[in-house]
Amino acid sequence: MTRRRWIADRVAGDRAYLIDQNAAHLVRVLRVKVGEQFEVVADGALRLGTVVLATDREVQFELGPEVASAAPTHVDVYLAIFKFDRLEWALEKLTELGVARITPIIAQRSAQHLVKAAPGRLARWRKIVHESAQQSRRAVPPEIVEPAPLRKIVSVVQGSRIVLSEAEQAVSLKAALANCRPPLALAFGPEGGWTPEEIKLFVDPGWKSASLGHTILRAETAAIAAVAVVMAELS
């Protein structure tokens, strides 16, 4: 039987707690009862939890033994800022696919009003990936990093690195992955793509350039499609 999985809001000893909205959902929607068992992520460890208290303000678990869990493929996504409704949908789906970290990138073609508003959206974005991680039975949600300019990021990323580019004609993503091993970094441009100057920023420190095909994809489509390919190839 596949148990639902929850990420504890608070942990104290061998007790874990869901509070407020998470507790209300478990009690009002799922009709949880004392004695039911779930998988609970407590301080990064996946454990079996038995409900010992259930109110719409707090659900309390008694924590049991650790539960075996497969290690995910480590993929970091560097995602240029684009329209928030579509970016937030991408965050949800990238979480379901198992990425480890997402860094919003300030690119030359990122709309300035979105760049200015992005830091104020971090709490919302972290809530989105937290909820998506629970739904998809992840042990932990991906880290959402503070937005950063491309120039500050591109030269410090370590490991295997691939930038998805409309300008790439010869190398497919699958071909670029041939000699890659996790951890892997993937970079995706904004609406309108990377500028020639930005492509040069990637080339100088050794990022591989790759294509997702001959059609032009929306930013969120490209990110989700590429990560799905990577997880299939490297997992």
Indicate the average pLDDT of the chain.
Answer: 93
Q: Where are the domains of the chain?
A: 5-66, 75-234
Tell me which fold the domain 75-234 belongs to: Alpha/beta knot (3.40.1280)
What is the 8-class DSSP label of residue 118? Answer: G
- DSSP assignment of 134-191, as one string? HHTT-SSPPEEPPPEEHHHHTTT--SEEEEE-TT--S-BHHHHTTT--SSEEEEE--T
- Tens-digit pLDDT profile for residues 76-95: 999 999 999 999 999 999 99
Contact 140, 40 (CB under 8 A): no
pLDDT tens, residue by residue, 118-160: 999 999 999 999 999 988 888 889 999 999 999 999 999 999 9
Parallel/antiparallel/unpaired status of strands 10-12 and 15-19 = antiparallel
Using pLDDT thresholds of 50, 70 and 90, give the confidence band for residue 105: very high
CATH architecture observed for domain 5-66:
Beta Barrel (2.40)
Instruction: Give the model confidence (pLDDT) of 192-223 as tens digits.
Output: 999 999 999 999 899 999 999 989 899 999 99
